[in-house]
Structure 1
Amino acid sequence: MGSGKGLVLVTGAAGFIGSHVSRRLLDRGDTVLGLDNLNDYYDVRLKEARLARLKSHPQFQFVKLDLSDRAGMAALFEQHAIRRVVHLAAQAGVRYSLVNPHAYTASNVDGFLNILEGCRHHKAEHLVYASTSSVYGGHTKMPFSVHDNVDHPVSLYAATKKANELMAHCYAHLYRFPITGLRFFTVYGPWGRPDMALFLFTKAILEGKPIDVFNHGKMQRDFTYVDDIAEGVLRTLDRPAQADPAWASDNPDPGSSSAPYRLYNIGNHQPVELLRFIEVLEQTLGMKAQKNFLPLQAGDVPATYADVADLMRDTGFKPATSIETGIARFVEWYREYYKA
């Protein structure tokens, strides 16, 4: 499939992961149609700054549109010869789903259906979409595998992403077009989201304010650097999902299918203790954090750990950026962007 083959629609192009993926696609010669609604879930100026870096590229075109706008999405697919779709737009965040649940069904369920319908009616070659490690819920069996059952989500955000996986499978089965779902594990790095731990911690430490450390620090996360995520997206995009001839209905494998459908974890497959993560950040900043220890929050899980065997087998790639390297790059970006 490779680069330069027709137009790639990237939804959430002004977002953290979407802007990185768009940049990588442009750098290798693809033509990108970026979609975003530029909502105010967090600072719109950050989204606009990410977008400005893309708009300077001659092969990038931007459309401001909401995924849940059914007529608008149908028109978008009518007007553009979209060959492949990287669907990264979503209402993100576990904690916000406790406050504003309707935002999640509008974007993640209705919006995703509009993407599936566009791909179906306009014969897209491949749809790659973002799922999340949150679908594993309170799993204690480590590492998390795409071959595990994930029927017990502990947040509405996770439930909507599990719904995406089911909807995607249905469309791959009925209409036989390739769809690949990617379960991302705690993504961090330059141009990151202000509602995520590394951003919140860095801002607070530099301002001399305390940081909230949930579950009294007894948390582990498979922190994954954004460049590794982007690489995984491109690798899977270039390899459209195929039906598994070995799949059996009497012994169904959740990570495989008789339809052209695949699921992969993209994680650093190396869980890091939250307190170690904070320690590396302190060393990088040359400042100590004041820690405010709190209980585990509703909807949160104590640990995540990705099994990336399938990703490695099918694409030859697995994330490998250490937190020492990744945090240093984030801090460098943060200091420059915020003049901190």
Structure 2
Amino acid sequence: MRIAVTGGCGFIGSHVVDHLIAAGHDVLAVDTTDKYLNPDAEHARLDILDLGALTAALAGSEVVYHLAAMADVEQVSADPVRAVRTNIDGTEAVLEAARRSGLSRTVLASTVWVYGAALTDGQIDGGEQELDEHVPIELEHSGHLYVATKLAAEMLVHSYRELYGQHFTILRYGIPYGPRMRDELVVARFVQAALTGRPITIAGDGRQSRNFVYVEDLADAHVRALSPAAEDQTFALEGSAAVSVRDIADTVDALLGPVTIEHIDGRKADYAGRRISSAQAKRLLGWSPSTNFTAGVRQYADWYRAAVGSAAGA
């Protein structure tokens, strides 16, 4: 199958491209950069907001994975106009290009941050209610602009299904980590601080937790999402266990330490973390994460050391 991946040279997108090629597909990476371009993939260097160029590039593909987005929440806060254009207008352009080019499905990268706006009944049997893909969303509680752009993108996908019969799959990522991740991401920051002898800085008290998902596990889910069972479905792709920010620091300390830990003020509208079920992904796709957090952090540290050494020797 011929498949296009927007953002196919970025952190997650490049791993998705790698896994699709390994599964025997012909892949077109659509990106403004070639940073992590797989040499066995085709490359279309273009801005997804260029509808004409994007439509021409998608011609001949059957499925498009739309991963190109402004994903750094700090950058979203600092430049809301660009964030809306990239994440909302960009999704519209991909959906329209896919419609014009006759693609059978668009696979949208979303986020578990949207569950921060979920309408829940609160506590269930003494613990927080576990949320799935069918929980209602309260738009007035969308909070961070990043969440608003992702909810808007999901709404566009559903509208294109209703109006034009365009099939979709929505993948709500847990917090991804692993080789090639941006330096700004918390696991990367902590590992790099430890390797360079700098203190680890925690925003807030460090009790906020995430279900981190290793990027290779996440990429595997994308290949499985080509299944007919994934058509017009939404999947939460969470890690298997909650990991607090303090847990990350302690893991890095155990693997690379000793380290010094400092606390600063928490950031506004941060995602506090919710209990989210990935049961639908397991049931319909046969997917569940297989990489434990400590192993994933070790693999990232090994990759980072190699990348830094390669850059120094270049």
TM-score, normalized by length of structure 1?
0.84
Q: What SS class does the counterpart of residue 32 from structure 1 fall into? A: strand
CA RMSD of aligned residues (A): 1.7
* Separation (CA, whole Å) in 2 of partners of 1:146 and 1:116: 22
Match of 1:146 among 133, 137, 140: 133
The letter of the residue matching 1:200 is R
Q: Do 1:211 and 1:291's aligned partners in 2 also have CA atoms closer than 8 Å?
A: yes
Q: Do 1:267 and 1:305's aligned partners in 2 also have CA atoms closer than 8 Å?
A: no
| 1:50-73 superposed Cα distances (whole Å, 9 cap, x missing partner) | 22xx12x2xx11111111122322
Give 1:76's aligned residue.
57
* Separation (CA, whole Å) in 1 of partners of 2:246 and 2:69: 29
Match of 2:272 among 302, 320, 323: 302
Please report how far the alpha carbon of residue 213 of structure 1 lies from its aligned counterpart in structure 2 after TM superposition: 0.5
2:29 maps to 1:31:
no
Q: What SS class does the counterpart of residue 123 from structure 1 fall into? A: coil
Q: Do 2:116 and 2:272's aligned partners in 1 also have CA atoms closer than 8 Å?
A: no
* Separation (CA, whole Å) in 2 of partners of 1:124 and 1:240: 17
Please report how far the alpha carbon of residue 138 of structure 1 lies from its aligned counterpart in structure 2 after TM superposition: 5.8
- Larger deviation, residues 201-210 vs 219-228: 201-210
- The aligned runs of 1:136-285 (5 Å cut-off) are 136-137=115-116, 141-150=128-137, 151=139, 152-239=141-228, 241-242=230-231, 261-285=232-256
* Separation (CA, whole Å) in 2 of partners of 1:185 and 1:106: 24
The letter of the residue matching 1:334 is Y
* Separation (CA, whole Å) in 2 of partners of 1:128 and 1:25: 13
* Separation (CA, whole Å) in 2 of partners of 1:301 and 1:118: 32
Structure 1 residues without counterparts, runs of 5 or longer: 39-46, 243-260
Give 1:22's aligned residue.
17
TM-score, normalized by length of structure 2?
0.90
Give 2:83's aligned residue.
104
Match of 1:9 among 4, 10, 16: 4
* Separation (CA, whole Å) in 2 of partners of 1:8 and 1:25: 8
Give 1:134's aligned residue.
113
The letter of the residue matching 1:143 is E
Q: What SS class does the counterpart of residue 204 from structure 2 fall into? A: helix
The letter of the residue matching 2:7 is G
The letter of the residue matching 2:71 is A
* Separation (CA, whole Å) in 2 of partners of 1:16 and 1:239: 26
2:293 maps to 1:323:
yes
**Aligned residues: percent identity?**
30
* Separation (CA, whole Å) in 1 of partners of 2:76 and 2:23: 36
* Separation (CA, whole Å) in 1 of partners of 2:101 and 2:47: 19
Structure 2 residues without counterparts, runs of 5 or longer: 123-127
The letter of the residue matching 2:5 is V
Aligned length: 300
The letter of the residue matching 2:203 is F
Q: What SS class does the counterpart of residue 68 from structure 1 fall into? A: coil
